[in-house]
């Protein structure tokens, strides 16, 4: 039990340390960022990225990988800026149907024994095509309640930080504390044991993908609330950012090993990395590569910590 607690603490320590170092570097480069308004600007887009990261984490918890997250969030953004504003009932039904499709994808992948990467890559073209049909050119407008929710100013800390804390707590309760979360992680960790215990693998995978769809829908709505309009390509980079956020936060591609709190910290770290690189006046063309370098450094540190931990656990 002691070893497990040490391992879990280590999964949170590395992403938390990475975020702290980046935040200190940003404050050193731009002292004015050390304020309510400055933090709000730094972490302005952290909420949709955090929600997309949690969605990716739920899929990775069952040993799959979703390459359609970015296109799906873009599709949701287009629905939000058009139907959800002008025809709320129709918009809600479209989004509910999209979540249902997400759950169905998880079931189909399992029943047909298909590679999740191939299926979700194909679905990314479907979501992107629907987004283009719905909104051929950038436009639309955020619903008033969405805009208010994303721009409200809490008294003590910016909305981005408050929302990130709420997202981390909710995701932690669902994935780590609920029986459904245990079942989802069990499918990723040892599927045969879950089957022998009498649980339905199909239901667990449908739940994992359905919850991922819900968080991705929330990400698209939040993004429109921040940008006030939508675009069919507005969130395509969220696919790689969400994967990086999960890995940066202590998650792994196999074994159902995920950390909801770590995933949110990873998303915040990636958001801060973008701001930090902008302060260094690094071209946007190079920023993705620089973010990848940060991820590699963090993974190398995690590998070192894991080896030290294993040596310490030997009798």
Domain residue ranges in the chain: 14-303
Where does residue 191 fall: left (phi above 0), alpha (psi -120 to 50 degrees), or beta otherwise?
alpha
Structure tokens at 193: 């044991």
pLDDT band for position 105 (50/70/90)? very high
Q: Which residues contact 123 (CB under 8 A, 6 or more apart)?
A: 68, 71, 72, 105
Structure tokens at 199: 């649980």
Q: Is the pLDDT of residue 197 over 80?
A: yes
pLDDT band for position 310 (50/70/90)? low
pLDDT of residue 142: 95
Q: Which among 294, 54, 246, 70 has a CA at the least distance from the CA of 164? A: 54
Q: Is the pLDDT of residue 3 over 80?
A: no
**Would you say domain 14-303 falls under CATH 1.10.3470?**
yes
Distance CA 315, CA 208 (A): 38
HSE-up (13 A, CA, CB side) for residue 127: 38
Structure tokens at 200: 């339905």
pLDDT in tens, 263-279: 999 999 888 887 777 77
Angle at 243 between CA 169 and CA 116, to 5 degrees: 110
Whole-number average pLDDT of the chain: 88
pLDDT in tens, 54-91: 999 999 999 999 999 999 999 999 999 999 999 999 99
Q: Is the pLDDT of residue 208 over 90?
A: yes
């Amino acid at each position: 039990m002691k070893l497990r607690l040490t391992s879990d603490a280590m999964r949170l320590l590395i992403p938390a340390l990475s975020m702290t170092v980046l935040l200190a570097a940003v404050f050193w480069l731009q002292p004015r960022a050390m304020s309510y308004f400055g933090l709000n600007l730094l972490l302005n887009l952290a909420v949709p990225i955090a929600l997309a990261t949690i969605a990716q984490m739920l899929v990775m918890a069952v040993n799959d990988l979703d390459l359609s997250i970015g296109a799906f969030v873009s599709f949701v953004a287009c629905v939000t800026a058009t139907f959800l504003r002008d025809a709320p009932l129709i918009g809600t039904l479209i989004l509910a149907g999209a979540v249902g499709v997400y759950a169905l994808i998880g079931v189909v992948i399992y029943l047909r024994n298909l590679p999740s990467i191939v299926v979700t890559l194909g679905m990314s073209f479907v979501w992107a095509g629907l987004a283009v049909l719905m909104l051929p050119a950038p436009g639309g407008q955020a619903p008033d309640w969405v805009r208010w929710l994303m721009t409200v100013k809490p008294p003590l800390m910016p909305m981005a930080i408050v929302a990130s804390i709420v997202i981390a707590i909710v995701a932690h309760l669902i994935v780590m504390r609920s029986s459904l979360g245990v079942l989802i992680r069990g499918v990723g960790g040892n599927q045969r044991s879950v089957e022998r215990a009498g649980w339905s693998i199909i239901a667990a995978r449908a739940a994992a993908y359905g919850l991922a769809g819900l968080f991705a829908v929330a990400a698209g709505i939040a993004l429109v609330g921040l940008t006030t309009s939508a675009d069919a390509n507005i969130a395509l980079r969220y696919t790689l950012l969400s994967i990086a956020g999960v890995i940066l936060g202590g998650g792994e591609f196999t074994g159902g090993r995920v950390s909801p709190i770590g995933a949110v910290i990873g998303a915040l770290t990636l958001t801060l990395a973008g701001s930090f690189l902008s302060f260094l006046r690094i071209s946007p063309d190079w920023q993705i590569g620089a973010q990848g370098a940060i991820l590699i450094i963090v993974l190398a540190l995690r590998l070192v910590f894991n080896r030290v931990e294993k040596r310490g656990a030997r009798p």
